[in-house]
Amino acid sequence: MTDTTKTPVTEASAAPLPGPDPRLDRLAVFSRELEAVAGNAAVTDPVAVTEPVASPEPVASPEPVASPEPVAIIEAAAPADTLVNMPVIDTAPIMAREDQPVPEPEAVAPEPKAVAPEAEAVAPKTEAGPVPRTEARKVEPMTRESALDSKDPAKKPSEPQPSDLWAVLRAILSTPWGRRIALVIVGIVLFFTGYVSGRWGRSDLHSQLSDRKQEIVRFKKEVENYKVEVESVVIERDQLRQRLRESEEKREFYKQRDKIRKYVSDARRAWEARNVKEALEALHKANIHFQSEARDAKGVSNYLYRTIARRMQQALTAIETDCADSKPVQSSAFEPPAVPAVPCLERVNGLLQHVIDALPPARED
């Protein structure tokens, strides 16, 4: 029965063998397997530190050092018959959470002293590489601040990404109830969209309708104003027409008055020159224009015109009859009338003067 008492390995216990041993090959294979296991443990947990030590001389484990934290130093050394059945030791420390205590690493004791020197002596002759020495270090509790400060992205809390949201939505929509809820939400959104757009459209139409009504009222007022202006323009037009008609009548009256006075004056001059024929012609022309002027006379003007017409007729009769009561009888048509006497001349001149005085020259207003 082998003694399994845990005894620390020191330099005194490591003594070289007197000669080569045929078990070196198996020991080299074991060393390589142990190195591979230690490398995998270091990759899995970054806290564990594996330091390979390469030395041609046998490596002696250091003496245990008193420390608040346990440190285990493991060096593989075993006899050939126990190397095959020896279990693989995981030297990586365990990362503890904040709410769990940190377990202390276990120190693995080597095999009896008789076998240890063989492993120490064989170590320099191996060509497989350095013998790994795993040292369990202090494990600090992981906190949120230390995880955020760490450079390892695996320790940092992942932030939500848009792809995660889409994945959640797809997962929700993949279920029947999710599709029903989505349809209900879409229906509510469409309803409120239509309601808001309809209200906005109605309000816009009402505002346009009120604007059109105001425009219609304004147009009606403008039409009424235009009608009043048209009526005033029509009244002004009628007044202008009346004034034009009056001005035309006045102009015609002025022409008639000038002609009457002119012909009466010509008849008087011809009568004074004893030219009875010219005096009669001029007096007849004056009488024609006088009748045209007195045609529309009314009231006092009509009385005055009748008086003037009577005197003009007396002058014509006096010139034709040479102031006789009856017209003279002419023996021949080619015989000129007798020259009137002086009293008859004065009488005709007096009548013509009364006619001229009764018809003063026209004056513009």
With a cut of 80, say whether residue 297 has pLDDT above it: no
The residues facing 51 across adjacent strands are 133
**311-340 average pLDDT score:** 66
Whether 167 maps to a domain, the answer reads no
Note whether 28 and 140 are same-domain residues.
Answer: yes
Q: What burial letters (b/e) apply to 43-64, b meaning 16+ CB within 10 Å?
A: eebeebebeeeeeeebbebeee
For the full predicted model, state whether its pTM sits above 0.75. no
Domain boundary among 149, 170, 192: 149
Average pLDDT score, the chain:
70
- pLDDT tens, position by position, 261-295: 888 888 888 888 888 888 888 888 888 888 888 88
Q: Is residue 64 part of a domain?
A: yes
Report the CATH number at residue 313.
Answer: 1.20.120
More confident site: 125 or 278: 278
Length of the chain: 365
Q: Within a domain: residue 327? A: yes
Q: Is residue 48 part of a domain?
A: yes
Confidence of residue 146 (pLDDT cuts 50, 70, 90): low
pLDDT surpassing 80 at residue 326 = no
Based on the structure, what is the number of domains in the chain?
2
> Is residue 203 a part of any domain in this protein?
no
- The per-residue pLDDT for 153 is 54
CA dihedral defined by 301, 303, 308, 309, rounded to 10 degrees? 110
Which tokens in the block code for residue 133? Answer: 């020495």
| Domain endpoint, select from 149, 172, 197 | 149
d(CA 320, CA 330): 11
Residue 8 lies inside a defined structural domain of this protein: no
Boundaries of domain holding 349: 253-358
Of the residues 86, 121, 149, which one is the last residue of a structural domain?
149
Q: What is the pLDDT of residue 75?
A: 43
